[in-house]
Amino acid sequence: MHKADFIKAVQKKQRDPKLQDTLIDTCLQTPDLVYVLLEEMLGTHENASYFARILEMTVKTQPVIIVNYLAEFTQVLPLVKDDTTTRSCAKICEIIMIQYELKKDSRFLTALLPEHRELMINACFDWKINDRAVAIQVHAMYSLYLLGFTYAWIHPSVVMLIEKNIPHGSTGYQNRGRKVIKAIETKKLYKL
């Protein structure tokens, strides 16, 4: 599928939800389209979140597809503004960290450079501190928890933020927050 046709198809997705699976398959068959998704996520058009959602579902289906685009993806993180696009970015960060820290996937261990992790850390803390939507905060919380195994200073900061937000958080936030705090305190690995 050509770039222009792919962009039109993603924009059409809102009118045809069945098209999502086709778009994901197209990305898996043509990994260069990941770059197109990243470009379009930064667009000011109302469809930016559709591009983020297709990227999220593609990465969820085959995480390794993002490996060649880690630099571009992490550069996008501080630039996305709307909650829907940010939620997809937060979920992708979580997937990346699961591959890196839990699964020890050699492709991620090699490709996820310190500068990529630093951009992820900054974005995740920004999402936690600036009171973003609960789903964004939950994904950011788990990403930061996993990043804390490489950067020990993160865990105390995450605990402090979770404890501050638990009284006001949703049931899902409270549940995940307690599990992350317990895992940090007991030094036991918490897997989703």
Written as six digits, the tokens of 23 are: 């778009």
Does pLDDT of 151 surpass 80? yes
Mean pLDDT along residues 65-75: 97
Residue 114 belongs to some domain of the structure: yes
Q: State the pTM of this model.
A: 0.93
Where do we find the tokens 């993160």? 154
Neighbouring CB atoms inside 10 A of 43's CB total 12
Residue 190 belongs to some domain of the structure: no
Distance CA 83, CA 62 (A): 24
Residue 187 belongs to some domain of the structure: no
Written as six digits, the tokens of 177 are: 């927050």
For 29, the domain range is 3-151
Distance CA 140, CA 181 (A): 14
Written as six digits, the tokens of 6 are: 């792919």
pLDDT classification of 47: cutoffs 50, 70, 90: confident
Residue 48 belongs to some domain of the structure: yes
Let me know the angle formed at the C-alpha of 117 by 115 and 121, rounded to the nearest 5 degrees: 115
Distance CA 65, CA 96 (A): 11
Q: Which of 60-64, 65-69, 73-77, 186-190 has the lowest mean pLDDT?
A: 186-190
Written as six digits, the tokens of 85 are: 């696009």
Instruction: Write down the pLDDT at residue 96.
Output: 98
Q: Which helix (H) or strand (E) holds 67?
A: none
CB within 8 A of 187, min separation 6: which ones? none
- In the chain, pLDDT over 90 holds for what percent of residues? 71
| Number of folded domains that form the chain | 1
Distance CA 146, CA 142 (A): 6
Residue 189 belongs to some domain of the structure: no
Instruction: Write down the pLDDT at residue 44.
Output: 64
- The CA distances from residue 89 to 1, 5, 84, 138, in Å, are 24, 24, 9, 12
